[in-house]
Amino acid sequence: MRIGAIEAGGTKFVCGVGNESGLMEDSISFPTGHPEETLPQVISYFKKNRVEAIGIGSFGPVGLRRDSPTYGFITTTPKPGWAQYPFLDAMRRHFGVPFGWDTDVNAAAFGEAAWGAAEGLDSCVYDRHGHRRRRICRRPTRSRPGSSGGRPCAREAPSGGFLSGRLRLPWRLPGRDGGGTGH
């Protein structure tokens, strides 16, 4: 299965094509401009590289509650042109495939849980402060920020101190419990 991936960052977009085993076939990156500059590049890339599903991890804040009218939106960001932007709907207008939608940080944590530092471990907390990222991994869990779902954990970070929190994974890990379909 060919899967598209979008890391929609505040300074650059990275688009890629890979498979369900995590092997990347191709990728491209370009600066994040206004949506009318950036989305045509994303759409063009995936029209040339046909995929069967697309996962999006976006800068935010983003609307993650499916029952909210702002689900799939980049909401109150200060990034020019992106506030209240219906990113997921804009992509769905061009592609009739399933989509995964989450924050860029949650998407990175999912990658660590599926194929990286947290693979096979019991939990994972991915903490990001600006461009500094720290991982503490035990087992992926699922919850919404501020909810009682998921399992909290705290462990010593390699950089010193402790990190804690709850991780929301939107996609089911092969052979593991938890998560939803993300589309």
Q: How confident is the model at residue 165 (pLDDT cuts 50, 70, 90)?
A: very low
Tens-place pLDDT, residues 105-148: 888 888 877 877 777 777 777 666 655 555 555 444 444 443 33
Cα–Cα distance measured from residue 62 to residue 103, given in angstroms and rounded to the nearest whole number: 7
| Residues 14, 81 share a domain | yes
Number of domain units in the chain: 2
In a domain, 122, yes or no: yes
Is residue 171's pLDDT more than 90?
no
Q: What is the pLDDT of residue 172?
A: 44
| Residues 89, 37 share a domain | yes
| Residues 84, 49 share a domain | yes
Cα–Cα distance measured from residue 170 to residue 180, given in angstroms and rounded to the nearest whole number: 5
> Which one-letter amino acid corresponds to residue 62?
V
> What is the domain-level CATH number for residue 87?
3.30.420.40
In a domain, 49, yes or no: yes
| Residues 112, 91 share a domain | no
| Residues 110, 93 share a domain | no
Cα–Cα distance measured from residue 161 to residue 172, given in angstroms and rounded to the nearest whole number: 31
Is residue 179's pLDDT more than 90?
no
Q: How many residues does the chain have?
A: 183
Q: What is the pLDDT of residue 109?
A: 80
Q: Name which of 82, 114, 83, 78 is nearest 5 in CA terms.
A: 114
| Residues 112, 88 share a domain | no
Picking from 52, 69, 97, the residue at the C-terminal end of a domain is 97
| Residues 120, 72 share a domain | no
In a domain, 154, yes or no: yes
In a domain, 14, yes or no: yes
| Residues 111, 157 share a domain | yes
Query: Any idea which of 9-23, 58-72, 83-97 has the lowest mean pLDDT?
Result: 9-23
Strands 153-156 and 132-138 come out as unpaired
DSSP secondary structure code for residue 37 in this structure = H
Q: Print the domain residue range for 64.
A: 2-97
Helix segments in 49-183, DSSP class H: 87-92, 104-115
